Structure 1
């Protein structure tokens, strides 16, 4: 089996396209370069080029990631933070990403999601129904104090 080898120039162009198509984090870019069988020195050079020319910006990635996962997938802050940590995003960038989520919008989306989910759970046993809602909202990454509050409001 033969592997296509890329010159640094070719790989750089490929990664410029990869980064301009969608925001990427450093870890994704490094992974992509490894999949192109680039040597560590070339990886460092290309990553430096991408950062210098603003194709790669970890803070911009973190902010866009947080906005997207919250607005589209309705993830809570805990889940967003965990996913950003998996992608090796710095604490500073994680905090600035969380500032992208408006507190009122966050709470409104949370209560809307809770109510919608509560109404779709077909469970008749109230305790089991509460547990199902709790598990659902925890998987989404919402804070437990918010979940308890929502369950109390919905079950009354």
Structure 2
């Protein structure tokens, strides 16, 4: 236990975490980490998490959906990368599947092609085989499925 850190009552911690969750959607793991950093005992942590869920400050499905929307629209991540990040945050597979329904298939493919075309403009590789490889690597790192990536690369570089 750290000595120079203030201690919180359950009510103070609850208020602090209500603000923490109201600022943006959080996963349960993020809330637990925050409670750990506040040196809360397990019984108090459980009580606070239950209260946050009952008051709808903490909602894993809502977190998953907003996370998916944000990472796809802003960072243009693919489903694979988004899924990995949600798993890292302790989100269960069924809730990840629900979150991924936020991505429309047509929008997903359009974004993939948009990323591919942008990357192609920057590639100076004369060899078309190597060029395809570099493009595919870029798109795979962004988290897109290999079948889609290779179809896209073949379509654009032929």
TM-score by length of 2: 0.95
- Which residue does 1:66 correspond to in 2? 68
Provide Cα deviations, 1:40-75, integer angstroms capped at 9, x if missing partner. Answer: 111101100100000000000000000110000000
- Which residue does 2:108 correspond to in 1? 106
1:77 is the counterpart of 2:83: no
1:108-123 correspondence runs (5 A):
108-123=110-125
**In structure 1, what is the Cα distance between the partners aligned to 2:49 and 2:78?**
31
SS at match of 2:5: coil
Give the CA RMSD over aligned residues: 1.0
1:32 is the counterpart of 2:37: no
SS at match of 1:79: helix
Q: What residue ranges of structure 2 are gaps of 5+ in the alignment?
A: none
Q: What residue ranges of structure 1 are gaps of 5+ in the alignment?
A: none
TM-score by length of 1: 0.96
Which consecutive segments of 4 or more residues in structure 1 shift more than 4 A? none
**In structure 2, what is the Cα distance between the partners aligned to 1:125 and 1:4?**
62
1:45-56 correspondence runs (5 A):
45-56=47-58
